[in-house]
């Protein structure tokens, strides 16, 4: 089937003057000139903004853990290491409006009284890196960054750091190690980064999308932000959909729209000839939701109640012509490759999980393998590993075993992948021995 070609018009991002013309840097002026740092934090807390990096922790609450009466440097870091498979919302913001991010960072840095800030960016985002580098320079030239910003006595330096392209760097303490020039392995907590982070100093790490909302909250207030949402979690959210839908993409919508509205209206429903089977709602490290969940609200609580996580809010749709075993094997291959090797369950368990799935996909699986896979989802689950990488990797697997179990069983009984017509051809010619 030929895919319809959709016309994408890309606009160049707003330069400094254009950004100012639509109200840019008003929030930075307002915060630095007319608000106390603690007032900014209180405002963001009242807005009920939850972090958009995937965990959904209250942003204002996180900021409030930074000690305000200490001498010496503090750091604000933007996590732009968008490595979650299926997730492309931060790239859209970075390339579309770099000054919006920089202004959000200035306000956030002021709130915690940081003196230095970093954009930690995925190495592959070449266009985004170019845009951010240019925008940082423009902000310096206009006096929004550097010494004595707007004559207020507050100073902030900002740097772009492109990472090495490891999924692990998205975990905030591993990101800090990487930024310090060490291996990207996670740190033991406590101490939490808010107290002892980059170079042992108080540090806040926020996601790109989180920081991009900050100027708007400062300009328009906490009530306004809350009212944009359909649920208790404040604001709008950038939702994305990929897979065999008619109109894959990303959209800014009220927090709490239903899964059905997102997939059927915004993503245009399934492409002709494909049927919906399931969806990973927030990138690869979330549990499948299926047909029965279509009317849940897509906020942090709603998706959790359905047994998954909102995560990044960017969905990967599984259709009836894609093999769920192959789909999950592909993800586990990625996670096994991206394990930092720091703790044993993840380092040893993920390659083992991947090999079991590959054997099943190749027609070499045994029924006992399904029990082994289920034991892996427990052994690599929350509380048994040093960070959340392996528990996240288990989410698509445990839910696939639950919702698509008959597919796993068919692979084993038929000694091959039922979705792969090549196997049927081999079986009909009596070459079954090739599969052993």
CATH 1.20.1440.230 range(s) for the chain read 324-435
CATH 3.40.50.11540 range(s) for the chain read 16-227
The pLDDT-based confidence of 11 (bands split at 50, 70, 90) is confident
Percent of the chain exceeding pLDDT 70 equals 94
The pLDDT-based confidence of 164 (bands split at 50, 70, 90) is confident
DSSP character at residue 152: S
pLDDT of 207 higher than 90 = yes
pLDDT attached to residue 231: 95
pLDDT attached to residue 46: 97
Mean of pLDDT values over 353-380: 97
Q: What is the pLDDT of residues 213-242, one digit of tens each?
A: 999 999 999 999 999 999 999 999 999 999
Between 64 and 3, where is the model more confident? 64
Q: Which residues pair with 160 in a beta bridge?
A: 119
Residue position matching structure tokens 């002892």: 196
Burial grade of 126 (CB within 10 A; 0-12, 13-18, 19 or more): exposed
Residue position matching structure tokens 């990096």: 53
Mean of pLDDT values over 66-80: 95
Topology classification of domain 16-227: Rossmann fold (3.40.50)
Mean of pLDDT values over 129-153: 97
Strand-by-strand arrangement of the 314-319 sheet: 249-254, 236-242, 314-319, 276-280
pLDDT of 430 higher than 50 = no
pLDDT attached to residue 432: 41
The pLDDT-based confidence of 10 (bands split at 50, 70, 90) is low
Tell me what the pLDDT averaged over the chain comes to. 94
Evaluate whether the domain defined by 324-435 bears CATH number 3.40.50.2000.
no
Q: Output b/e per residue, 37-70; b: 16+ Cβ within 10 A.
A: beebbbbbbbbbbbbbbbebebbbebbbebeeee
Instruction: Kindly report the backbone phi and psi dihedral angles of residue 72, in degrees, each rounded to the nearest multiple of 5, phi listed first.
Output: 95, 175
The pLDDT-based confidence of 426 (bands split at 50, 70, 90) is very low
- Cα 41 to Cα 86, 94, 197, distances in angstroms: 32, 24, 19
pLDDT attached to residue 421: 60
The pLDDT-based confidence of 420 (bands split at 50, 70, 90) is confident
CATH 3.10.20.600 range(s) for the chain read 236-319
- Cα 283 to Cα 163, 287, 354, distances in angstroms: 20, 9, 19
pLDDT of 423 higher than 50 = no
pLDDT of 1 higher than 90 = no
Evaluate whether the domain defined by 236-319 bears CATH number 3.10.20.600.
yes
| Contact call for residues 118 and 77 (beta carbons, < 8 A) | yes
Identify whether 191 is preceded by a cis peptide bond (ω within 30 of 0).
yes
């Amino acid at each position: 089937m030929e895919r319809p070609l959709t016309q994408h018009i890309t606009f160049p991002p707003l330069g400094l003057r254009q950004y100012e013309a639509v109200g840019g840097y008003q929030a930075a002026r307002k915060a630095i000139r007319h608000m106390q740092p603690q007032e900014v934090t209180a405002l963001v807390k009242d807005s009920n903004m939850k972090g958009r990096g995937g965990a959904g922790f209250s942003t204002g609450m996180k900021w409030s853990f930074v000690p305000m009466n200490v001498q010496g440097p503090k750091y604000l870091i933007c996590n732009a290491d968008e490595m979650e498979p299926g997730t492309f919302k931060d790239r859209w913001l970075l390339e579309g409006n770099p000054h919006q991010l920089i202004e959000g960072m200035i306000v956030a840095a002021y709130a915690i009284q940081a003196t230095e800030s970093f954009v930690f960016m995925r190495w592959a985002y070449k266009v985004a890196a170019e845009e951010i580098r240019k925008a940082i320079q423009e902000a310096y030239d206009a006096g929004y960054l550097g010494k004595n910003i707007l004559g207020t006595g507050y100073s902030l330096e900002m740097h772009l750091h492109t990472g090495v392209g490891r999924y692990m760097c998205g975990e905030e303490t591993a990101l800090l190690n990487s930024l310090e020039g060490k291996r990207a392995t996670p740190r033991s907590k406590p101490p939490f980064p808010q107290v002892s982070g980059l170079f042992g100093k108080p540090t806040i790490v926020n996601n790109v999308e989180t920081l991009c909302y900050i100027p708007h909250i400062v300009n328009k207030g906490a009530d306004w932000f809350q009212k944009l949402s359909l649920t208790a979690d404040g604001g709008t959210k950038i939702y994305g959909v990929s897979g065999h839908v008619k109109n894959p993409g990303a959209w800014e919508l009220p927090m709490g729209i239903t899964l059905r509205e997102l997939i059927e209206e915004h993503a245009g429903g399934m492409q002709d000839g494909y049927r919906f089977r399931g969806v990973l709602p927030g990138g690869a490290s979330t549990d499948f939701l299926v047909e029965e969940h279509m009317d849940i609200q897509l906020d942090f609580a709603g998706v959790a109640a359905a047994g998954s996580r909102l995560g990044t809010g960017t969905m990967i749709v599984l259709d009836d012509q894609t093999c769920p075993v192959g789909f999950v094997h592909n993800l586990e291959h990625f996670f096994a490759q991206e394990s930092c090797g720091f703790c044993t369950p993840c380092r040893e368990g993920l390659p083992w999980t991947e090999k079991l799935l590959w054997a099943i996909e190749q027609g070499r699986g045994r029924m006992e393998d399904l029990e082994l896979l289920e034991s892996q989802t427990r052994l690599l689950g929350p509380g048994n590993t040093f960070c959340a990488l392996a528990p996240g990797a288990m989410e698509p697997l445990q839910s696939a075993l639950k919702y698509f179990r008959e597919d796993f069983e068919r692979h084993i009984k038929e000694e091959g992948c039922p979705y792969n017509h090549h196997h049927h051809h081999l079986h009909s010619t009596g070459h079954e021995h090739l599969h052993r």
